[in-house]
Structure 1
Amino acid sequence: MINAESSAERTVAGPLRAAWGSRAEASALADVLLPPSTALPGFADPERWPPNALTRLASVLDLARSERGTPWPQPTASQYARFFRDGDGDRTDYETPVFDLDHRLTRAVLAALVSRDDDLLDEVADGVLLLCERSTWCWPAHEEHHRLRGAVVPDPDLPYLDLGAGVVAAQLAWLDHVLGDRLDVRWPGLRARVRREVRVRVLDPFTSRHDWHWLGLDGDVHNWCPWICGNVLVAALRLVDDPADRARIVADTVRAIDRYLAALPPDGSVDEGFEYWWNGACRALEALDLLEHATGGRLTAADVPVVRETVRFPRLMHLGGPWYVNLADARALPSGGQPWHVPQEWARRVGDRDVALHAAAQRSTAIPDTAELGRALRDLATPLPDHPAEPLVGSVWLPGTQVGLARATAGSTAGPTLVIKGGHNDENHNHNDVGSVIVAIDGVPVLVDAGRPTYTKQTFSADRYDIWTMQSSWHNVPEVRGTPQGTGRDHRARDVTVEDTADRFQVRLDLAPAYRVPALRSWWRTATLHRDRQRVTIEDSWDFADHGDSRSTLHYLLAGDVVRDGPGRLVVHPVSGARATLVAWNPSLASAALTVRELDDPLLRTVWGEKLTRLELRLPDPARGSLMIMVEVCA
C-alpha cells in the first residue's frame, strides 16, 4: 500500500505540469485563484442564459413542481446490506433511491433558480438536509468497512471517498454557488452544515490519505481519478475559504488529473471505451475548464497535445445514429443524456470543426431530468446550435489501444463499417476480447459486442470472467482447441499491421499470445473492409506444432433475427433500421451451429432486444488451415 506520494512522483511532470510548471503548485495557486464567490462560472442568473434555455428546461421544471411536497426517495439499511449479504451482491436496490434523491434535488435547485417561489427553496433545503443526515455518501460496493470489520451498516467515522461521495460534494457546492444568498436568508445555518459535511466526508479524506487506489500512485490510474478529483475540485473552489488550504487541495487535484492524462496514449484513446470516456476523459476536460476559469486563464490546457486528441475520441467511435463502438463495459446504444456540450466547447477551443459539428448534432434539445447539477448548468449556459449533418470519419487507427474503425464511404453510414481491436486482456473494464471485430451495416451493429449487464458484486471481483459477457467465448474471436483467451496483460495481440487505401482498410494481427495453448505457433486474423466491393472479410489462419486432440471454433455474435439461407449462408435482419445482411463462409471447411442466448438483463435487452445468436464455426483439425467469413448487404 502506498502511504505517501513519493518525492520522485512529485517531480515527474505529466502533460499538465510539463505545460504549466510551477504555476500549478500550491504556492502559486494561492495567489491567483479567484475567491469562492467567483471561482465557479457565473451560471446563477437565468436572464444571462441563451434565449432557448428555459424552453430546454421545461420538462425538468414541470417534474420538479409535481414532486414538491411528496415523500423523498430514501435508501434504507436493508437495501444497503443487500450488497454484502446477497449471493449476487445486488447494487441497484440501494443505488436507485440514492440516484433518485440526487436527481430530484438537482431538479429542485434548477426550479428554485428560475423561480422566486419559497416552497421550491424549501424543497432544496429538505433534500440537502437528507443528504447531510445520511450515514454515508459512499456506495456500498466501494465501502471498506465491511472488508475491515465485517460491518453491513455504514460507519460515519470511517468516510470512504468514492464516486458517490464526490458526486454529492460537487452537487452541494454547485447549489451553494447558485442559491447560497437565498439560502442564507430563508435557511440560516444550512450552508454551514453543508461545509461541515463536505469537509468531514470528502475534503479531509482527500488530503489526509494517500492510499486511495484511484490516485494512481501505483501506476494503475483509471476513470475514477478525474471523476473524483474533478468533483473535489468543485467542492474546494466553492466551499473552502482559507486561501492556502484551497490552493493545496487544488494543487493535489491537478497532480492527480495530470497523472490520469499521462496514462492516456498520445492519441487520446480510452481503453474503457466510448461510454466511459464521459466519466474519465470528459471529467478531466470539465475539471480543466474550471481550472482555467478559477485561475483567470493562467492555467489553460487547450494546447496540451493529449487533451486535444482525446476531444476527438467520441466522434471516432461513432457508428451511426445513436450507435457507438462499445468496447469494454460499454453499451452499443448508450442511454443518452451525455454532456455533449463539453466536447462541443472543447472542439471550438482547439479548432476541430468536425468534432464540434458531431457534438452539436448529438446534443439534446431538452435538459435530461437526470443530469448532474454542474453539467446541467453548463449545458444551459452553452448555446444550442442548429443540428448540422454529421461528419462521419472515413477511417481511423488508434495505436494506443489498437482499435480501428473504417466505413465504406466517409461521411455516410450506408453499407458496412468494420471495427477491430487488438490490445491486451488487462485493460480497464476489461473483456477478454483480443482480436474481436464489430461489423455494422448502415450504422447498426450486426456482428456485435454484447456489452455488459447490470453491475453486481461479481462484476469487479475475482469471479468477473464467470460472467458470460466478459468471456472470449461470447466475443467475436476464436476458441483455440477448446481454450478461451486468458486474462492478463501478456494475453495480447502481436505483430499488428494496418493498411488503409482508397480501396480497402485492413488490419492483420497474431492472436496466439492471447491463448494458453503451448502448441500454437500463430493465429493470424486479417480483417478487411473492401470499400470497392462494399464487403467485410475476416480471415483466420492457424499454425500448430502438432495435430492435437481437439478442434478450434470461431465464434461470431449476431444481433437481430438470424435465418439460415442454405449451406454456409446466414441472413441477419438487424435490430433496427439497417438492411438485411449476408454472413457467408465455405461450408466444406467448417461445420456450423447456432446458439441462441436469451437475454434477461434489462441493460442488455434495452440494446439488443430479447436475444443474441452465436454462430459457431467448428474448424478442421489439421495443424494448419484457414477460414474466411464474408459480411455484406444482401443483394
Structure 2
Amino acid sequence: MRSQTIATGGDRSMHGPLSTAWLATGRTLAPPGASLPVPTATDRDVWDPSVVDPATLSRIRDRALASRGTPWAAPLGHLFARYFRDGDRAVYEQAIYDRQDRLTRAAIMAAVTREPEWLDEVTDGVVLLCEQSTWCWPAHDDTYTRHGSMLPTADDPFLDLGAGEVAGQLAWLDHLLGEQLDAYVPGLRARIRLEADRRVFTPFEQRRDWHWLGLDGDVHNWNPWIHGNVLTGALQLVASPGRRAALVDLIVEGLDRYVASLPADGAIDEGYAYWWNGACRLLEAAELLADASGADVPWSTFAAVVAFPHRMHLGGDWYLNHADGPARPPREQPWAALHRMALRIGDPAATAHAAVHRDHSSPVADERQGFGRLLQALTSPAWLAATPPSPTPPADMWFASTQVMLARAGRLALAVKGGHNGEHHNHNDVGSVVVALGGVPVVVDPGRPTYTAQTFGPRRYEIWTMQSTWHSTVSIGGVAQGHGRGFAASEAASERCGSYHEMVLNVKDAYPAAGIHRWLRTARLSRSPETVTLRDSWDLDPSLTGSVIHLVLAGAVTLAPGRAEVTALDGAGTLLISWDPAGTSAALLPRTLDDPMLSDVWGARLTRLDIDVSGLGPIGTLELTLKEQR
C-alpha cells in the first residue's frame, strides 16, 4: 500500500483506493438523517426495551440511574492549565470522559424509554458540551505556543482527537434522537450544528497545518481517528450538499494518506493497542463512506490490516506489545467493529477472534469506546447473534516492514523486534525480545506509564520504560540505545523451517558508542524440544567495557549460578533461563511499580536480569536457553 501516490494540499486528483471509490460515485451522498448506518429511535423494532440486548441495557440503565440527579463532571479551568504547569493531563481528561459517557448512557435510555426525564438529561449533557470552552484535550491544544495562554483560546479552536470525538458523538446523538429533540427541546439541534461548525468543520476546512494530516509525510493514528469523526459529523450535521461533498473530498484525501502509509503485511508500528484507534478507525470510516455514498470500497486491500489483532495474540487477554501499548490491554475493545470488518473481508480467523469476545451475559460494547461504536454494536444482527467459537491459533508471523517476528511452538512463544528508534510512540527497543509461556509474557516489554507532558516532550527518554535498559536488549560498553530513526537494526532476516523459526539482526547501529564493529543477535524458537535460544555475538573495540545483556522479567524470580527461574503470572508455569558460559556474572534488579498503567498489568514489580559479559572479552558469544521447567 505504500506505493500508492496520494495527492496533498487539497489537490482533487486523488489516487488512493478510498478517493477512487468516492469519485466513482459522482460525489453523491445520502442526505443527513439517512447517512449513518444505525436505525433512529423511531424504529421500535430496534429500540423497544424488549428488543435491546438485555445485558447491555441493564448495565447502561444502572449506570445512568446512578448518575442522574448528581452534578455533572466539571472540566475546570485550573485543571486544563495544570497540564502546562506540572504536566498532569489525566484529571481534566477524566472529567471530559465522564461527561461524555454520561451523555451516551442518557441518549441510549432516551431512545429506549422515550421518557422526558432522559431527554432532560440528554439536553443538559449536550448544552454542557456546547458551552465547554474547548473540545480539545489540554495536551494537544496549541493555545500556549500560539497565544501564550494556559487556557483554551475560544476563537482559535484546535481540532484534535478530543474535538473530533465530541463532534462524532453529537452527530450520532442527533441522528438517533433528532425527531424527539425537535419535539421536546426545539433549538438544541441548531446549537449542535453551530458548535460543530465553528469548532470542527470550519477549522478543518481553513487550517491545513494540522500535524495529523500527514502532509509532511509523517502519518500516524490521529489521521483516521480524526478524519473518521469529521466524516461522521459532516454526514449528519452539514446541510449544504456542496459543502458536505467538499468536506468528504478532504476527508478521503486524508484517509488515503494513511492508507498509503500502511505496509502490505498489515503491521502497525504503534502495536496492537493502537490498532483500535488507528487502522480500525480507518476501516470504520471506509464503512461509513460506503454506506453513505454507495462507494465500492476495495475491502480486500485491507485484508492484512484486519488480520493484525489476531496475529498479535499470545493467549487469554495477553498480546505482543510494542511502543506505548500494554501487554494486557483492557478486555473491553470494540470487538463488534473488528467482527464487521472481518466478515466484510472474509477472514474466518479474524472473525472468530472477535467472536470469542461475544459473551451473551455481558454488554455488547462499553460506552467508553465511543457512542458510535456502541450504537453499531447494539444494532448489528451479526454481532448480536455471534457465538464464541473455539479460538483459532495464530500462525507464525514475520512482519518485514517493522522487522518483527512472532513464533509459536506449543506452550512457548518468541517475539523479536528490529526496526528503528524513530517509530511512532517509540521506545528504544531495537533487538528486544519477548518470551511467553502458556500465552503469558515472562520476558516482557513493560509498556508505558500514565501519559504526562513528559511523555511526548524532549525528556521522553528519561522515562525508564522508554529506555533500552528496561527492555530485553543489551547495553554495549555501558551505553544504552539512542533515539531517532538513525538508530536502527541492520541485516535483519527471518528464517522459518519445520523445526524452528529464528530471527537474526545486527544491533550495533542502535547505539551511539564508537568502537562497536558488530553485535549480532540470533533468537530461535525450536519446536522439538520446545526451546528458545538467544545468542549474542560481538566484536568490539577493546576499550569498550561494561557490556550487559538485559532480560526484563514478570513474575517471581530466583537466581542461581548460570541460571534463573521465573514463576510466571496467571499460574502459567515456570520458565528456566540458563546461559553459557555459566560462570558469567549475573544480578537481579527489581523495579517497584507504582503507576496503575503498569501495575494493573504486571503486579507490584518487574525484575531485570543483568548478565555482565565484559569478562568474555571484546570478541565473544553468550547463549541463553529458555524453556519450561516442568
Interval of TM-score (by shorter of Structure 1 and Structure 2): over 0.9
Partner of residue 558, structure 1: 553
Report deviation, 1:52. 6.4
Q: Given that residues 60 and 368 in structure 1 are in contact (C-alpha distance below 8 angstroms), is that contact kept between their aligned partners in structure 2?
A: no
Partner of residue 308, structure 1: 303
- Structure 1 gap ranges (5+): 410-414
Partner of residue 393, structure 1: 394
Out of 16, 38, 42, the residue aligned to residue 14 of structure 1 is 16
The correspondence of residues 143-162 of structure 1 with structure 2, limited to 5 A, is 143-162=141-160
One-letter amino acid of the structure 2 residue matched with residue 527 of structure 1? A
Report deviation, 1:577. 2.8
Partner of residue 3, structure 2: none
Cα distance between partner residues in 1 of 2:114 and 2:268: 44
Cα distance between partner residues in 1 of 2:73 and 2:524: 52
Out of 458, 465, 471, the residue aligned to residue 461 of structure 2 is 465
Per-residue deviation, residues 275-295 of structure 1 (Å, max 9, x unmatched): 000000000011001001001
Report deviation, 1:588. 3.9
> Would you say 1:575 and 2:572 are equivalent positions?
no
Partner of residue 412, structure 1: none
Report deviation, 1:150. 2.0
Partner of residue 60, structure 1: 60
Report deviation, 1:601. 0.6
After TM superposition, the structure 1 stretch with the greater mean CA deviation from structure 2, 520-529 or 335-344, is 335-344
One-letter amino acid of the structure 1 residue matched with residue 216 of structure 2? D
> Would you say 1:406 and 2:407 are equivalent positions?
yes
Look up the SS of the partner of 2:172 in the other structure.
Answer: helix
After TM superposition, the structure 1 stretch with the greater mean CA deviation from structure 2, 341-350 or 164-173, is 341-350
Look up the SS of the partner of 2:368 in the other structure.
Answer: coil
Per-residue deviation, residues 327-384 of structure 1 (Å, max 9, x unmatched): 0100011122211111211111111111111111124531324231100011112233
Cα distance between partner residues in 2 of 1:271 and 1:549: 32
Q: Given that residues 269 and 400 in structure 1 are in contact (C-alpha distance below 8 angstroms), is that contact kept between their aligned partners in structure 2?
A: yes
Out of 324, 327, 331, the residue aligned to residue 329 of structure 1 is 324
Cα distance between partner residues in 2 of 1:20 and 1:492: 38
One-letter amino acid of the structure 1 residue matched with residue 405 of structure 2? G
Cα distance between partner residues in 1 of 2:14 and 2:178: 40
Tell me the number of residue pairs that the alignment of Structure 1 and Structure 2 aligns: 613
Q: Given that residues 567 and 587 in structure 1 are in contact (C-alpha distance below 8 angstroms), is that contact kept between their aligned partners in structure 2?
A: no
Cα distance between partner residues in 2 of 1:584 and 1:601: 31
Look up the SS of the partner of 1:430 in the other structure.
Answer: coil
The correspondence of residues 243-254 of structure 1 with structure 2, limited to 5 A, is 243-254=241-252
One-letter amino acid of the structure 1 residue matched with residue 320 of structure 2? V
Cα distance between partner residues in 1 of 2:610 and 2:165: 44
Per-residue deviation, residues 218-273 of structure 1 (Å, max 9, x unmatched): 10010000000000000000000100000010111101010001001111110000
Cα distance between partner residues in 1 of 2:187 and 2:168: 19
Of all paired residues, the percent bearing the same amino acid is: 47
Partner of residue 416, structure 2: 420
Partner of residue 261, structure 1: 259
Q: Given that residues 46 and 113 in structure 1 are in contact (C-alpha distance below 8 angstroms), is that contact kept between their aligned partners in structure 2?
A: no
Partner of residue 451, structure 1: 447
> Would you say 1:431 and 2:433 are equivalent positions?
no
- For normalisation by structure 2, the TM-score amounts to 0.95
Cα distance, 1:8–1:288 mapped onto 2, change above 3 Å: closer
Cα distance, 1:8–1:205 mapped onto 2, change above 3 Å: closer
> Would you say 1:213 and 2:208 are equivalent positions?
no
Q: Given that residues 525 and 540 in structure 1 are in contact (C-alpha distance below 8 angstroms), is that contact kept between their aligned partners in structure 2?
A: yes
Cα distance between partner residues in 2 of 1:129 and 1:482: 58
One-letter amino acid of the structure 2 residue matched with residue 142 of structure 1? H
Per-residue deviation, residues 178-232 of structure 1 (Å, max 9, x unmatched): 0011001111000000000000000000000100000000100100000000000
Per-residue deviation, residues 159-189 of structure 1 (Å, max 9, x unmatched): 0000000000000000000001100111100
Report deviation, 1:590. 2.2
Look up the SS of the partner of 1:142 in the other structure.
Answer: coil
One-letter amino acid of the structure 2 residue matched with residue 551 of structure 1? G
- Over aligned residue pairs, what C-alpha RMSD do you find? 1.6
Cα distance, 1:133–1:7 mapped onto 2, change above 3 Å: closer
Partner of residue 597, structure 2: 603
> Would you say 1:527 and 2:523 are equivalent positions?
yes
Q: Given that residues 581 and 622 in structure 2 are in contact (C-alpha distance below 8 angstroms), is that contact kept between their aligned partners in structure 1?
A: no
Look up the SS of the partner of 2:623 in the other structure.
Answer: strand
Out of 478, 482, 501, the residue aligned to residue 482 of structure 1 is 478
One-letter amino acid of the structure 2 residue matched with residue 457 of structure 1? A
Cα distance between partner residues in 2 of 1:33 and 1:573: 58
Cα distance, 1:9–1:189 mapped onto 2, change above 3 Å: closer
Cα distance between partner residues in 1 of 2:9 and 2:552: 49
Per-residue deviation, residues 104-129 of structure 1 (Å, max 9, x unmatched): 11011111111121101110000000
Per-residue deviation, residues 504-526 of structure 1 (Å, max 9, x unmatched): 11011111111122211111111
Look up the SS of the partner of 2:480 in the other structure.
Answer: coil
- Structure 2 gap ranges (5+): 1-6
